[in-house]
Structure 1
Amino acid sequence: MPPPAELRLPIETERLRLRDFRLEDAPAVHAYGADPEVTRYMPWGPNTPEETAAFIARALEQQATWPRLDLGLAIEHKALGVVVGSIALHLRDIPHRTLEMGYCLRRDLWGQGLVTEAGRALLRLGFEEFGLHRITAACDVRNTGSYRVMEKLGMRREGELRKDRQIRGAWRDTYLYAILAESWSPSPP
């Protein structure tokens, strides 16, 4: 799976701009990263200001390399002019052309289809630009909003891992989802 010669950013959708993080995004990133409801099912957070600063520093460092093993992008809401979340593709299996997608969004914007919009743009990037075979995603089984996004993207639930991760002192069950290049359609179902 040779990566494309370059990554053309930002990626524009109707309401969003998916772009590299900037140092000045730290306050907006911290606003959602420190929210206990946003991070409730995440293996990280709620973040301290120092953890947010470390995240931004890692993102800036990763952006300086190509190809990137982790493509983490800021989700900027065009009308608001501010970063409202993040979305990423994480390299999991080079020989089998498989990446894992993850995402996070500011709580006051939940339920508006923004993550689905951003996810559709990343699926297009993965399948059309990167030539991927498979994109996976996972979430806590209690995170109905997250697995509904995966289903809206055309991903199929492939399994449930019981008590596979210990997060904040408690074991959690995880749903696994995936979509193959042959099943993906650039237009919404």
Structure 2
Amino acid sequence: MGQLARVRHDLRVETERLTLRPVGPSDVDALRELHADPEVMRYLDPAPVENYLGESFHAAFEKASGRFAGWFEFKGTGEVELGYRLHRACWGLGYATEGGKALIERGFTVGGVRRVVATTMFVNAGSRRVMEKCGLRHVRTFHVDFPEPLPGSEYGEVEYALTKEEWQRAQGEPHVADRLG
């Protein structure tokens, strides 16, 4: 059984084209390869790969090929942070939106999540589009003094968010207060 025995299968998420499961030690080499691509890391500060192990990070695999596509973050309890990082070969295929929406749905329906937030650099238009397609809306633009700022950081960071009530309305489900009359 070894290391894989620690992966909690109840945290597995299936979408039409992806399988997401908690990142485990067997994924370290795939993570290192992903993080070695300068275009993937263009708007991101590197962190040790070991920081991505555990239940808050999900390795994403294409169902059709079994290929490692990247990872998704869904970290927190009542308020969770959504994040994603995909191989360039997977950009523009809708995987980030598909995986993000699946995690959001699971969080709001069975995970006890009340609010989902996501942040990126203002200049990261691709990531902002994914956030919007997942139903999150722009909340604020803010500036952070980074010790070694990345190009484009002078335009600030953006925060997007979605509450459970907003998500329910978008799904056509009445809000609790609406049901109570």
TM-score (norm 1): 0.76
The answer to which structure has the higher strand fraction is: 1
Equivalences for 1:7-22 in 2 at 5 Å?
Answer: 8-22=10-24
Greater mean alpha carbon deviation, residues 108-117 or residues 82-91:
82-91
Query: d(CA) in 1 for partners of 2:82 and 2:24?
Result: 21
CA-CA distance at 1:170 after TM superposition: 4.3
Q: Please give the per-residue CA displacement for 1:22-66, whole angstroms capped at 9, x wherever unaligned.
A: 333233222211101101111226xxxxx43x34xx61xx45xxx
State the match for 2:164 in structure 1. 181
Contact 1:74 1:86 in 2 (8 A): yes
1:184 counterpart SS class: helix
Structure 2 residue 62 is matched with structure 1 residue 77: yes
Contact 1:29 1:83 in 2 (8 A): no
Query: d(CA) in 1 for partners of 2:126 and 2:14?
Result: 23
Equivalences for 1:153-168 in 2 at 5 Å?
Answer: 153-162=134-143, 164-166=144-146, 168=148
Structure 2 residue 114 is matched with structure 1 residue 133: yes
Structure 2 residue 31 is matched with structure 1 residue 29: yes
The answer to which structure has the higher helix fraction is: 2
1:177 counterpart SS class: strand
User: Letter of the aligned partner of 1:106 in structure 2?
Assistant: H
Contact 1:29 1:84 in 2 (8 A): no
Unaligned regions of 5+ residues in structure 1, if any?
A: 1-5, 46-50, 64-70
Query: d(CA) in 1 for partners of 2:166 and 2:124?
Result: 24
Structure 2 residue 46 is matched with structure 1 residue 44: yes
State the match for 2:72 in structure 1. 87
Unaligned regions of 5+ residues in structure 2, if any?
A: 1-7, 172-181
Number of matched residues?
160
Q: Percent identity?
A: 34
Rg larger in structure: 2
Contact 2:43 2:150 in 1 (8 A): no
Greater relative CO (CA pairs within 8 A, separation 6+) = 1
